[in-house]
Amino acid sequence: MTAPALQTTRRCPYAPPDEHTRIRDTDSGITQVTLPSGQVAWALSRLEHIRAMLTDPRFSSDRQNPNFPRFTREQPNFGLMRPSIIQLDPPEHGPARKAVVGEFTVRRMAGLRPRIQQIVDEHIDAMLAGPRPADLVQALSLPVPSLVICEQLGVPYRDHDFFQARSSALLSRAVTNEGRQQAAKELRDYLKDLIAEKAADPTDDLLGRQLTQGNDPEDVLSLAFLLLIAGHETTANMISLGVVTLLERPDELAALRKDPERTLPAIEELLRVYTIAEFANSRVAVEDVEIGGVTIRAGDPVLALSNAANHDPSAFDEAEEIKLDRGARHHIAFGFGIHQCLGQNLARMELQIVFDTLVRRIPTLRLTTPADSLRYKDDAFIYGIHEVPVTWDDPA
């Protein structure tokens, strides 16, 4: 029997593809699927199984392993740079992550709060001064995380058009392999020059500090590349999606305005229901492993259907419902195991500041088209929305 082709189109923005739900609700919750690359992969769909895989060293994150699950026949990036932390396994992963994670602690992120608030306010000022309707994606969702990560890394924001274009090409399933390879190469060359400048003339920013702490410039290059891509569109897409969900729920919006304590739990729920990086938790087995009664052989690709897992009824009560005050934090929207998102506390804070500031400053903010007619990114590795047209009333 040949394994059926993987479906990737969601039933609705808040629900995984029906096929993923069906797989999850079979006896084992595990089946084989054929990926667009032609690879036959195991698909895991339950929270318990994916958590087990992500904490088991017999599964590897080595994206250069030819059996790592892929959505294209070839993987761009091959040989372009040293592997970055997201591709490293133990024992290399730990020291590489510890060399940078101090830059992302909860306390360090709290220190960025005033500056992020200022950036958000400036972008809202500019939006309010401009024409209506406005596209929230261009006015706020994209520029805020982009500016924040640029300042943190020490990458000139004036070049953001350049790397925004390359980063979305890299994250699109619709762009050819050659196109993505080219985008990766251009971004690499750009960062290489920047890092050479910083090595010659040290700067007090994340990349500069990595260099002065004696990290190899080749490793700093791979890290810069990863952070720029990972820190960009992910948060941007969550801002857009989250605002749409909130605008569709005026009661919730009013509750948030009254009680900012509700924002952080709401963010966790939005992360869960959207699971924008739904395949990021995939791995390749390097030894035989049994999960849920199925034997996965060394060398088998394993795809994590994280969106199905985040809607798993055995892990979340009324998993299909969006409950902004649910307060469940055991979802895997940021992954699980040693690779769990390095930027998660930055992302949480950006989302919190954006949502709080929007509800406070523009109480009449609304969509100009119904949410179900927006163009969702069904063709991207990171789920999102292309445009979010919004309007508002003049202040009374």
Partner 1 sequence: MTRIVADLDRCVGAGQCVLTDPDAFDQSDDDGTVVVLRDTPADDDAVKRAQVAVDICPSRALSLTE
Q: Which does 277 bind (CB under 5 to 8 A by kind): ligand HEM, partner 1, none?
A: ligand HEM
**Distance from first CA to last CA of the chain, Å, rounded?**
66
Which member of 35, 253, 256, 280 binds ligand HEM (CB under 6 A)? 280
Q: Kindly state whether residue 316 participates in binding partner 1, applying the rule CB under 8 A.
A: no
Q: Is residue 214 within 8 Å of 175, Cβ to Cβ?
A: no
Q: Which is nearer to partner 1, 68 or 334 (CB)?
A: 334
Site string for partner 1, 24-63 (x = CB under 8 A): ------------------------------xx--------
Name the DSSP class of 337: G
Torsion sign over Cα 153, 154, 158, 163: negative
Q: Kindly state whether residue 307 participates in binding ligand HEM, applying the rule CB under 6 A.
A: no
Least Cβ distance, residue 173 to ligand HEM (angstroms): 17
Q: Kindly state whether residue 346 participates in binding ligand HEM, applying the rule CB under 6 A.
A: yes
175-194 binders of ligand HEM (CB under 6 A): none
Q: Kindly state whether residue 342 participates in binding ligand HEM, applying the rule CB under 6 A.
A: yes
Q: Kindly state whether residue 212 participates in binding partner 1, applying the rule CB under 8 A.
A: no
Least Cβ distance, residue 47 to ligand HEM (angstroms): 14
Q: Which does 55 bind (CB under 5 to 8 A by kind): ligand HEM, partner 1, none?
A: partner 1
Least Cβ distance, residue 50 to partner 1 (angstroms): 12
Q: Which does 98 bind (CB under 5 to 8 A by kind): partner 1, ligand HEM, none?
A: partner 1
Segment interacting with ligand HEM, rule: CB under 6 A, options 108-116, 228-236, 251-259, 316-324: 228-236
Q: Which does 329 bind (CB under 5 to 8 A by kind): partner 1, ligand HEM, none?
A: partner 1
Q: Which is nearer to partner 1, 98 or 297 (CB)?
A: 98
> Pairing state of beta strands 301-304 and 289-291?
unpaired
Question: Would you call 144 helix, strand, or coil by DSSP?
Answer: helix
Asked if the bond preceding 133 is cis, omega within 30° of 0, the reply is yes
Least Cβ distance, residue 294 to partner 1 (angstroms): 23
Q: Which does 108 bind (CB under 5 to 8 A by kind): partner 1, ligand HEM, none?
A: partner 1
Q: Kindly state whether residue 351 participates in binding partner 1, applying the rule CB under 8 A.
A: no
Q: Rounded CA gap, 230 and 227, in Å?
A: 5
Radius of gyration of the chain (CA): 21
Q: Rounded CA gap, 18 and 331, in Å?
A: 20
Backbone angles phi, psi at 249, to 5 degrees: -130, 80
DSSP-derived secondary structure for 18-66: HHHHHHHTSSSSEEEEE-TTS-EEEEE-SHHHHHHHHT-TTEE--TTST
127-166 binders of ligand HEM (CB under 6 A): 149
**Spatial CB neighbours of 41, under 8 Å, sequence gap ≥ 6:** 6, 32, 33, 34, 35, 69, 282, 300, 301, 302, 303
Question: Would you call 171 helix, strand, or coil by DSSP?
Answer: coil
> Pairing state of beta strands 59-60 and 134-135?
unpaired
Q: Kindly state whether residue 226 participates in binding ligand HEM, applying the rule CB under 6 A.
A: yes
Closest CA to 339 of 42, 64, 88: 88
Considering all CA atoms of the chain, what is the largest pairwise distance in Å, rounded to the nearest integer? 66
Q: Kindly state whether residue 281 participates in binding ligand HEM, applying the rule CB under 6 A.
A: yes
Query: In the complex, which residues of this chain contact partner 1 (CB under 8 A)?
Result: 54-55, 94, 97-99, 101-108, 329-330, 334-342, 344-345, 348
Query: In the complex, which residues of this chain contact ligand HEM (CB under 6 A)?
Result: 61, 85-86, 97, 149, 226-227, 230-231, 234-235, 238, 276-277, 280-281, 333-335, 339, 341-343, 346-347
